[in-house]
Chain A
Amino acid sequence: MHEHDVLVIGGGGAGLRAAIAAHEEGADVAIVTKLHPVRSHTGAAEGGINAALREGDDWELHAYDTMKGSDYLGDAPAIETLAQDSPEETIQLENWGMPFSREDDGRVSQRPFGGLSFARTTYAGAETGHHMLHTMYEQVVKRGIQVYDEWYVSNLAVTDHDDPADRECHGVVAYDIKTGQVEGFKARNGVILATGGTGQVYDHTTNAVANTGDGAAMAYRAGVPLEDMEFVQFHPTTLPSTGVLISEGVRGEGGILYNSEGERFMFEHGYANNDGELASRDVVSRAELTEVNAGRGVEDEYVYLDMRHLGEERITDRLENILHLARDFEGVNGLEEPMPVKPGQHYEMGGIETDENGETLIDGLYAAGECACVSVHGSNRLGGNALPELIVFGARAGRHAAGADLGEAEITKGKTGEIEEEDGLDTPVEPGAVEASDDVAADGDEDAVADGGAAVVEPDETVRRTIERERTRIERLMEKDDGIQHAELRDELQQSMTENVNVFRNEENLKDALEDIREVREAYQDVYVNDPSRTFNTDLIHTIETRNLIDLAEAITLGALARDEFRGAHWRQEHQERKDDEWLKHTMLSWNDGSPELWYKPVILEGQDKTYEPKERSY
């Protein structure tokens, strides 16, 4: 069994930042990650980092823009923390050597972005995430922080207490992809989940193939509530054939969206009379699809994003990477022709419920970055707010796990305070585990407590028991020699989610999706791993990931069905208005040992010095 003070699961932006912060606090920290850190998907982020750095801007404006962008579903303490910490964290990256684009006076460059009242998106070409990721990995190397790369964490070692609020996390169990060994990792102080997004729930996504939401799914099954999962961001500009992201920076620099009739539809069809192409992402994505549905799309599928008028010099200086992407993945020369774009899944606003210090309901378990929901983004994330989220909340989680005092959090966790139960959502099928007890394919062994065994609460024993369970689970998957293979199930899940739980949603489709998910879940009981090898068995890893995707797809769909209003990224055909008197609350979902349970907790609109009043959102 490996042992460290702090374990960070995931080696992307949030994970690296958390590890550095914990290390600076003097903790013995290790990163456990299924990809080598430089392979993480933070490297694909293009646009920039929102930070109030300049004369005329301040953190309060950044907070206000973020709250408005969230459609008043972000929690003020989280939003204000983001806006206050971001400038220092961003400059910290520069001080670590990150090669930001520069102004004439040698300072870091900022550009306009969607939904911002000030040009505060701090960028490094159109490859900001790549530079952020590599800069932080360099700092990890400098500090000699241990990295277990290509180790796949398949479960958390959590005690057996009946009430999730009493449970403690003492480590994780991971599978060494190279050798097939299953080993335990004990964390003396805390485990920080930084496992990134869930894009593989969908088939057209900007996300990497590795973005399977493992951390969120494991935390959910361990008893931590998932928050606001129905809010999925569809980025308005992705390449139609692959889902590769074309940065909002193109529109920030002055790029224009046209429909097939050559109309600048954001203005001409009245979607955003002030901000046009730079309205927030939910508004632009819906506008594009409305154009396509009205027959004004190109090839009935996409619209055009034109940046030719910016001129070669400016494009090469600030958006060069976009030229490469358009050329390599769509065969289009962005200097000479407009680029085809359509909305694609991009970011999950929801995730593991945490407070502003990264803590979850389970003692010793933290989450930061896209897998977490603080909530900064509410129902719609602004472009340029994901990268600061990684560094601000990654750093806070790392410090807190290492024992630093960050003060009392204002955001509550779990069922404390004014919560509200969902009094019966009409679902066509039962959600949750197929069996009342946890299913073996996902959780290894029968629950010892259910068998009348004693509840396991001692740290070492908790890790040991989890190792046993994972070994059993993996052996069963490997020994089974017929049944169904995960690829087919994953494909079905992705197709159903893409068809039914997309930008436009209605009750019938959401119910269809729940039926499909149930069907996939039942079929998964018969899943087997074809590859008998213990060496680099990606078949096994993908099979375990697919189970995670099933749970997350269900969480997204249940929330979407329950929320009968239109807010931010969540558009409902039957409910075309934002219902503030009823829905200024977060959708919470607890796994509840296999019988998912929906409940709600109020949004916090009271900030440090002011209360944010919900207003009609227009751009």
Chain B
Amino acid sequence: MSTQLPEEDRGRTESAEHEAESSVEQEGASKGDQRRADRDAKRQQSVSGAPADVEGESFRLKVFRYDPEVEGKMEPRFDDFAVPREKGMTVLDALIYARDRYDTTLTFRHSCRQAVCGSDALFINGRQRLGCQTQISDLEEPVRVEPLPHQDVVKDLVVDMEHFYDQMHAVEPFFQPDEESEGDLEEYRQTRENREKIKMSTRCIWCGACMSSCNIAAGDNQYLGPAAINKAYRFAMDEREGENMKEHRMNVMDQEHGVWRCQTQFSCTNVCPKDIPLTEHIQELKREAVKQNLKFW
């Protein structure tokens, strides 16, 4: 356990020296010079210790740390960071603050900051959530951030997603209409109702939160899991694909490690950051599978 506080000295050459080295003649102090001087003064203030009012306004972020090849990080541990509280701050903001201010070795995936790329699914206060979509103000403190459970940890908060991708790829996750469209400018027709039916299922961002929360997936490595089954649902329920393909898709779902593994614990539905009714979709596919099997009797 180690606690990180701002470093005393960031080792930065004074910009005034840069000015002196610069070959350009400056006539008096321009606005830019003034701005740079203000900035340097601010920086001095920030490294000489945070102002007292920020002290009282910070919260504790506890972050899981592990690196298989760095001495001192090979044994998993938690680090504590003091992060200043700001209005609207998300867990991702706090992680970025901790990384950029205290410890640049802190590692996590993130990109879009707006809950659409699915990079930063994390285990926050014991629940799978997107870091960028989770407000600090909604959480109990200290805020505890860990990598997604049931997945191999690569480093710190980064987990290996390969198994998740393999399961996604296993359900033929691409459109397969029974017949070709009629011409270059002809769309397949789809009713508004049918589009509405598949709408929620198409919102999946492949973040892996559901898979990580699923007890069945944790105990059965071959279980397709909620995200992949939802992907199959998205195509099986799309009227543009046609009946032959639907039958084929139901056969994929009807296999031993398909829909029947689901025990309706709803944990996937509870954690899905896009509010996809995953468990419902899985149940609907179970019913479809039964109906399809009855056809042959």
Contacts and interface: CB of A to CB of B under 8 A. Distances in A.
Interface of A: 35-36, 38-41, 43-44, 53, 87-88, 91-92, 94-97, 99-108, 125, 127, 130-131, 134-135, 138-139, 141-142, 178, 208-210, 241-245, 324-325, 328-331, 428-430, 482-485, 487-488, 491-492, 495, 499, 508, 511-512, 515-516, 518-519, 522-523, 526, 529-539
Nearest to A490: B100
Contact of B118 (A39, A95, A97): A39
B133 A328 contact: yes
B116 interface: yes
B192 A535 contact: no
B114 A329 contact: yes
Contacts of A41: 111-112, 117
Contacts of B154: 178, 535-536
B70 interface: yes
Contacts of A105: 189
A38 B206 contact: yes
Contacts of A330: 88
A314 B70 CA distance: 54
Contact of A429 (B22, B175, B184): B22
Contacts of B119: 35, 39
A44 B12 contact: no
Contact of B104 (A430, A485, A492, A534): A485
A444 to B, nearest CB: 22
Interface stretch (B28-36, B50-58, B258-266, B289-297): B28-36
A547 to B, nearest CB: 16
A152 B97 CA distance: 24
A400 B189 CA distance: 32
A338 B36 CA distance: 38
Contact of A523 (B13, B67, B69, B203): B13
Nearest to A492: B39
A109 B202 CA distance: 17
Given A99-B198, A141-B169, A142-B174, A531 B30 contact: no
B15 interface: yes
A43 B205 CA distance: 9
Nearest to A482: B11
Nearest to B66: A535
A519 B15 contact: yes
A131 B173 CA distance: 13
Given A38-B205, A488-B12, A512-B30, A44 B105 contact: no
7 contacts: A38-B117, A103-B192, A131-B202, A138-B174, A138-B175, A519-B15, A539-B104
A330 B133 CA distance: 11
Given A36-B161, A92-B184, 17 more contacts: A39-B109, A39-B118, A39-B119, A99-B238, A135-B175, A178-B154, A241-B88, A242-B113, A328-B114, A328-B133, A483-B11, A487-B100, A516-B32, A519-B18, A523-B12, A535-B67, A538-B107
Contacts of A106: 189-191
B68 interface: yes
B169 to A, nearest CB: 6
Given A35-B119, A429-B24, A488-B10, A539 B198 contact: no
Contact of B113 (A53, A134, A209, A529): A209
B45 interface: no
B41 interface: no
9 shortest A-B CB distances, which residue pairs?
A97-B175, A106-B189, A512-B32, A531-B105, A138-B174, A142-B174, A487-B100, A39-B117, A94-B187
Contacts of B158: 536
A456 B35 CA distance: 46
A189 to B, nearest CB: 26
Which size class do B's interface residues fall under?
35 or more
Contacts of B181: 91, 95
Interface of B: 10-13, 15, 18, 21-24, 30-32, 35-36, 39, 67-70, 73, 87-88, 99-100, 104-105, 107-119, 133, 154-156, 158, 161, 165, 169, 172-175, 177, 181, 184-192, 195, 198-199, 202-203, 205-206, 235, 238, 240
Contact of A536 (B100, B107, B173, B189): B107
Nearest to B202: A99
In this complex, which of B112, B206, B240 has the most chain A Cβ atoms within 10 angstroms of its Cβ? B112
B185 A35 contact: no
Given A97-B235, A488-B10, A530 B174 contact: no
A515 B108 CA distance: 34
A426 B155 CA distance: 49
A209 B111 contact: yes
A608 to B, nearest CB: 20
Contacts of A516: 32, 36
B164 to A, nearest CB: 10
A522 B18 contact: yes
A139 B187 contact: no
A91 B187 CA distance: 6
A159 to B, nearest CB: 34
A430 to B, nearest CB: 8
A40 B158 CA distance: 18
B69 A130 contact: no
A102 B192 contact: yes
B88 A104 contact: no
A516 to B, nearest CB: 7
A127 B203 contact: yes
A508 B31 contact: yes
A512 B110 CA distance: 32
Given A91-B184, A208-B113, A535-B154, A530 B205 contact: no
Contact of A531 (B15, B104, B174, B235): B104
B35 A512 contact: yes
Contacts of B10: 484-485, 488
A135 B99 CA distance: 34
A43 B21 CA distance: 45
Contacts of A535: 67-69, 154-155
B70 A210 contact: no
B22 A518 contact: yes
B190 A508 contact: no
Given A88-B185, A508-B31, A536-B158, A38 B118 contact: yes
Contacts of B173: 138, 141
Contact of A210 (B69, B111, B191): B111
